[in-house]
Structure 1
Amino acid sequence: MSNLAATAELECQATEECGAVELLLQPKDRDLGGFSVRRVLPTARRKMVGPWIFFDHMGPARFAAGTGINVRPHPHIGIATVTYLFEGEILHRDSVGSLQPITPGDINLMVAGSGIVHSERERPEITATDHVLDGLQLWMALPEDQEETDPAFHHYPDADIPGVEVDGVPVRVMMGSAYGVTSPVKVFAETLYLEAWLQPGQRLTLPDAEERAVYVARGSVQARDVTVPQYSMVVLNDEKGVVIEAREETRIALIGGERFNKRFIEWNFVSSRRERIEQAKDDWRQGRFAKVTGDEEEFIPLPD
């Protein structure tokens, strides 16, 4: 997804009370033709958390029969996109020949590297009925020595993603290692991405990481004396043994990993070099990117 909402943020002022809390980020909603997308990263005060440079919550959106997701082909460089659905389905196509529906619990990892083009639409049988879409789409910056890696696509079905119970809380480790398990999903640097489902009053000790943040996809949690409401993200420092407590039935996503150097961002392009983004813009204008297999006719023009 591209050209989404800007994010408002609240900085934690009461440092003695906030402790491990650095920022509380609250996104603004943007309607994209009938469904809501919330962009939490990047913000003016926080560009990245570990390698994670974009964090979007798609939905929850309800579509009447005959309507649905219809994102035309568009390009990326310098990142890997990670798509994970709570509900619904998206049909992914790209310029390396992939054709893959993603369903809840699966992970689609698209490595843009030196350049890839993809579209996000729906299978006709999905569009033909009333349906719901709810999920997360994240962009992960690639290390500087891997920004120009060959584009690729990897699909990991639900059954391949490891789960573990931590003090009664079910946790899925989508990327990286935590709580004694390791995900098979490819990473390019120290990376952490997990989700947990907490019942009211349950507590979870978070895994340690150089940088990390918790997004509340449903419900609300308490992090020290800071309440993190639904659709908000709390950015934490590297203090060890941070515990969160659910105030109601709550679904969280935790992201993190090693600290990255500055990245330049413009439209769908991310790079450690500004001139590389200018080159990508010109390549898209001039039609030099490869076309999406099976979706060659349409495209999203470069914004003015």
Structure 2
Amino acid sequence: MTIELVIPSRRKDLGGFEVGRVLPWTKRRMVGPFIFFDHMGPVNFPPQVPRKTDVRPHPHIGLSTITYLYEGEIVHRDSVGFHQTIRPGEVNWMTAGRGISHSERFDSIRDTGGALNGIQAWVALPEAAEETSPSFVHFDAGQLPSHAEQGLSVKVIAGSAYGMTSPVQTHSPLFYVHLELDAGRTTDVCGGYSERAVYIAKGSVRLNGERYETGQMAVVSPGAMPSITAVEPSIVMLLGGEAVGPRNIWWNFVSSSKERIEQAKADWKAGRIQLPVDDDKEFIPLPEDPPPAAQPM
């Protein structure tokens, strides 16, 4: 068996735009250390994007977030002091560790409007790194290893794949790859990891002959080496790595310990997690139990 299971994206309204939520899912909570995977948009914002569309300051613990755009711009601010405009093809890797807060706003397209299309993913930290110091790193698109040939382009966002290694430092073995294929072009899913998945961000592909459409994630069976053939021009994300063990997830908090999540809840409610520098006038309050869907970005 080449494909272990197929995870559908479920549309979620975030109050201004929709996302397609893929992970976590009832039948598969994680792929390697990837514990959360949202496809933002695609959406075209009109001019005068309302501020309610922004993601106000909110906290995280125990994970790294990766914001990766195909279209649009998002302005990131965090409690470590980073202020970064996120643009297509760049890597913006924020490690929450023992606690961070950040906001994601549409300052740069607020007046004129514009497109937004991209992926927000979370990577659970291994237990030894769950309480690491919070940090943020940014890499321009040209700093990431890539390869292009007739009808195919490959960019390694994080980890190692296809003989290339990203400069992004990770806390556990993983890979995250952006593929673009012309219609009819074929390539193999990279190996070397115990857990792997293929997400179709645009278009449709065949994996060893079986067709998969936009918004579907196909989890690859261990040891299988399926080929990907684009039925039409397609964007495909490959992701996975080595498992880090079971994780608890509550709202924006991820931890191997339920008690640590309770502490994070108390810390946010009491104001013990610092708000983002230059964006400390508002925040998302701690939700009541049960929590709403995890806040992306």
TM norm structure 1: 0.91
Determine the C-alpha separation between the residues in 2 that align with 1:97 and 1:145.
25
Q: In 2, Cα distance between the equivalents of 1:155 and 1:259?
A: 25
The whole-number CA distance in structure 1 between the counterparts of 2:224 and 2:181 is: 21
Equivalent pair of 1:164/1:179 in contact (CA under 8 Å): no
- What is the aligned-residue identity percentage? 48
TM-aligned CA deviation for residue 84 of structure 1 = 0.4
SS in 2 for 1:212: strand
Which of 155, 158, 166 is the equivalent residue of 1:183? Answer: 166
User: Within 5 Å, which residues of 2 pair with 1:156-175?
Assistant: 156-165=139-148, 168-175=151-158
1:90–1:103: 8 Å Cα contact kept in structure 2? yes
Aligned to 2:62: 78
What is the deviation of 1:122?
2.2
Q: CA deviation at 1:224?
A: 2.4
Which letter does structure 1 place at the counterpart of 2:41? G
Q: Are 1:119 and 2:103 matched, yes or no? A: yes
Does the CA contact (< 8 Å) of 2:49 and 2:106 recur in 1? no
CA contact (8 A) 1:107 1:158 kept: yes
Letter in 2 for 1:55: F
Q: 1:108 is matched with which residue: 61, 83, 92?
A: 92
| Residue aligning to 1:193 | 176
Deviations along 1:209-233, one digit per CA (max 9) or x if unpaired, are: 2101010010011112432111110
Q: Deviations over 1:144-186 (max 9, x none)?
A: 0000000001011111011013675210011111111111011
Counterpart contact for 1:105–1:158, Cα < 8 Å: yes
Is 1:300 the counterpart of 2:252? The answer is no
Q: Secondary structure at the match of 1:239?
A: coil
Deviation sequence 1:26-63 (CA, Å, 0-9, x none): 12112222311111000011010011000010001111
Counterpart in the other structure of 1:217: 201
CA-based RMSD of the aligned residues comes to: 1.2
Contact 1:167 1:204 in 2 (8 A): no
The 5-angstrom pairing of residues 88-103 of structure 1 reads 88-103=72-87
- Which residue number corresponds to residue 135 of structure 1? 118
2:131 aligned with 1:144, yes or no? Answer: no
Aligned residues of 1:82 and 1:139 also touching (Cα < 8 A): yes
Asked if the contact 1:57–1:137 (Cα under 8 Å) also holds between the matched residues in 2, the reply is yes
Report the counterpart of residue 58 of structure 1 in structure 2: 40
2:259 pairs with one of 271, 275, 292: 275
Could you state the TM-score of these two structures normalised by the residue count of structure 2?
0.93
Q: Deviations over 1:95-135 (max 9, x none)?
A: 00010000001110000000000000022x52110211110
Instruction: Indicate conservation of the 8 Å contact 1:166/1:204, yes or no.
Output: no
Residue 33, structure 1, aligned to residue 15, structure 2? yes
Whole-Å separation in 2 of the counterparts to 1:181 and 1:166: 15
| Structure 2 gap segments, 5+ residues each | 289-297
The answer on whether the counterparts of 2:151 and 2:182 sit within 8 Å (CA) in structure 1 is no
Which deviates more from structure 2 when the two are superposed, residues 273-282 or residues 230-239? Answer: 230-239
Q: What is the aligned length?
A: 285
1:15 is aligned to none
The residue matched to 2:104 in structure 1 has which SS? strand
The one-letter amino acid paired with 1:265 is I
Asked if 2 retains the 8 angstrom alpha-carbon contact of 1:76 and 1:116, the reply is yes
Deviations 1:233-271 (A, max 9, x none): 000112243211111111000001012210000000000
Secondary structure (helix, strand or coil) at the match of 1:275 reads helix
Q: 1:257-268 residue pairs with structure 2 within 5 A?
A: 257-268=241-252
Residue pair 1:49, 1:257 contacting (<8 A) in 2 also: yes
C-alpha distance in structure 1 between counterparts of 2:179 and 2:200, whole Å: 10
Partner of 1:12: none
Q: Does 1:228 align with 2:212?
A: yes
Once residues 264 and 166 of structure 1 are traced to their aligned partners in structure 2, the CA distance between those partners, rounded to angstroms, is: 42
Aligned to 1:49: 31
Q: State the distance in 2 between where 1:199 and 1:109 align.
A: 29
